[in-house]
Amino acid sequence: RMQSSRSKPCSCPSLKLREVASMYLTMVAAFLVILVVALQGSAPRESHFPYKVPLDPQGLLELSWNVSYPEQAVHFQLLARELRSGLLFGMSDRGEFENADVAVLWSDGHSSYFGDAWSDAKGQLHMDSQQDYQLLGARWAPEGLYLLFRRAFSTCDPKDYLIEDGTVHLIYGILEKPVHSLQAINISALHGGLQRVQLLKPNISIPELPSDMKTMEITAPDVVIPSQETTYWCYMAELPEGFPKHHIIMYEPVVTAGNEALVHHMEVFQCAAEFDSFPHYNGPCDSKMKPDRLNYCRHVLAAWAMGAQAFYYPEEAGLAFGGPGSSRYLRLEIHYHNPLVLKGRRDSSGIRLFYTATLRPYDAGIMELGLVYSPVMAIPPGEDSFTLTGYCTDKCTQLALPSAGIRIFASQLHTHLAGREVVTVLSRDGRERQVVNADRHYSPHFQEIRMLKEVVAVFPGDELITTCTYNTEDRSRATVGGFGILEEMCVNYVHYYPQSQLELCKSAVDPGYLHRYFNLVNRFNDEEICMCPQVSVPQQFYSIPWNSFNREVLKSLYGFAPISVHCNKSSALRFP
């Protein structure tokens, strides 16, 4: 036990398996001042937590962390402002409070306790027999209580969450009243929620930046954030007249102080060069007032999502902008997430580009992998895990890539609302060689450009295979591929150098084989379904009765039928 709330955390022997650390407690106003014993290891210094994210919309809980690849562990620092009777922090498959792996700090009104727990399918909490959230210490500061704890990536405990690359769904809850035991905590009654982050950040050395580097801020012009839960805000900016070619070599977020919990993600797009001018616009992206021409601003220059740091290009390459053949017009898009429906908040967030006139050896390029935006690829309704695969084939890379190959250094995965997992692998000579990017807990609500842990070399004749997994349990009719939010996509935008002419390398099932599938369904089906050529593919999918036979045959068709490959140049012309 410790005597002073400001003393440093002491070090004690590690606790027995089922034991929980008991903590001294005093009341200060309405808040608890909690002193915690240190368990195993020593706490990293505060400056050693480079990643930070607010957990709740009010910013009462703020998480910072670092990643140790040698130790295969994450160190967490959780700041709790206005702490009452404790808190809950953890991870689950998709942000549910059921079947979750949690660390709990709770008070019974006399003493306080910290422990590693898990919740069952009904949301009931149980103390874990293997304590893998290791408490390292705590300190009280003017802004609140800092809790420090550690968790290994993999614990070999079946009740624990496996921390892996890609998105992690963090859950949090605030205890308003003391409880007599861990089991007495009612998860469903907690003031809580979820936050998505990429916990395992790549350990990349920051390249040296040139002395002639300049910055440009593309930011919202002091907009009033609408008082609704979700807003996509669009703002048009333009480069100076006669702006010559430069290389973007890094970018970082600019988030208005106080809005850290509201600014969910941001992207800067460059407009199509074939239009001489674009109208000015500053307003919601889905407004009827938005000029249609803004839909031609789709070339991504920068993308940031909550919890992401600055993005650096490799020292050999930069993203070209400005100069002949490049549009002066840029579109900033900001996703505001305002679940508390706050009114009157002003915002000037955006992205700061760092660029240089001293061009690097290579232009960076962006290539689309995955599935063609076509209704021929569909997902039946009521599926908990349905996979679709898009191929960038050996024939296409043989024809379109330079003989020395390309180097992929970053990737942005993309699906619409039914997407649950996205994986791209590199295959050479018919064998899978390397995972390019995998997100086993992918969320369509958290799409950022992620630097890869290691650069992936792709040579002519290699294949890039992208597989997306979907969940349509909440849908009553088939989900077809397309641009609509209730239609689906399966895309990996890979960032690479040197830039080649290949901008899109994707596939879809051969339409002739899909037509044979519709004929087969018709022959085996009791009711007549109109499978006539004049009926559109989506309409044919919508009219299928989804029994197990029709589902399984569609799965098999996608697995074996020939594919139609799109191997496109940036001018949208196909390679021969």
358-414 tens-digit pLDDT: 999 999 999 999 999 999 999 999 999 999 999 999 999 999 999 999 999 999 999
What DSSP string runs through 162-181? ---SSEEEEEEEE--S--SS
Compute the distance between CA of residue 455 and CA of residue 497 in angstroms, rounded to an integer: 10
Spell out the domain ranges in the chain.
51-197, 202-360, 366-575
Same fold yes or no, 51-197 and 202-360: no
CB-based burial label for 345 (10 Å; 0-12, 13-18, 19+): middle
Residues whose CB falls within 8 Å of the CB of residue 57, separated by 6 or more in sequence, listed in order? 193, 261, 262, 337, 338, 339, 340
Per residue in 82-104, pLDDT (tens digit) is 888 999 999 999 999 999 999 99
Question: What is the pLDDT at residue 572?
Answer: 65
The mean per-residue pLDDT over the stretch 219-223 comes to: 96
- CB contact at 8 A, 436 and 506: no
- CB contact at 8 A, 470 and 490: no
Indicate the pLDDT class of residue 492, thresholds 50, 70 and 90.
very high
Q: What CATH number should be reported for the domain whose range is 51-197?
A: 2.60.40.1210
Q: Would you please indicate which residues are annotated as catalytic (active-site) residues? A: 232, 414
Q: Residue 168: is its pLDDT beyond 60?
A: yes
CATH 3.90.550.10 fits 202-360, yes or no: no
Q: Residue 2: is its pLDDT beyond 50?
A: no
- CB contact at 8 A, 32 and 85: yes
Least confident of 170-184, 388-402, 413-427, 518-532: 518-532
Question: What is the pLDDT at residue 106?
Answer: 94
Distances (CA, A) of 82 to 31, 60, 390: 6, 7, 49
What integer best gives the mean pLDDT of the chain?
Answer: 88
The mean per-residue pLDDT over the stretch 537-546 comes to: 93
As a whole number of Å, the end-to-end CA separation of the chain is: 76
Compute the distance between CA of residue 419 and CA of residue 551 in angstroms, rounded to an integer: 18
* Widest CA span in the chain: 82
Q: Residue 203: is its pLDDT beyond 50?
A: yes
Compute the distance between CA of residue 525 and CA of residue 520 in angstroms, rounded to an integer: 9
In the Cβ-directed half-sphere of 45, how many Cα atoms lie within 13 Å?
Answer: 1
The class of domain 366-575 in CATH terms is: mainly beta
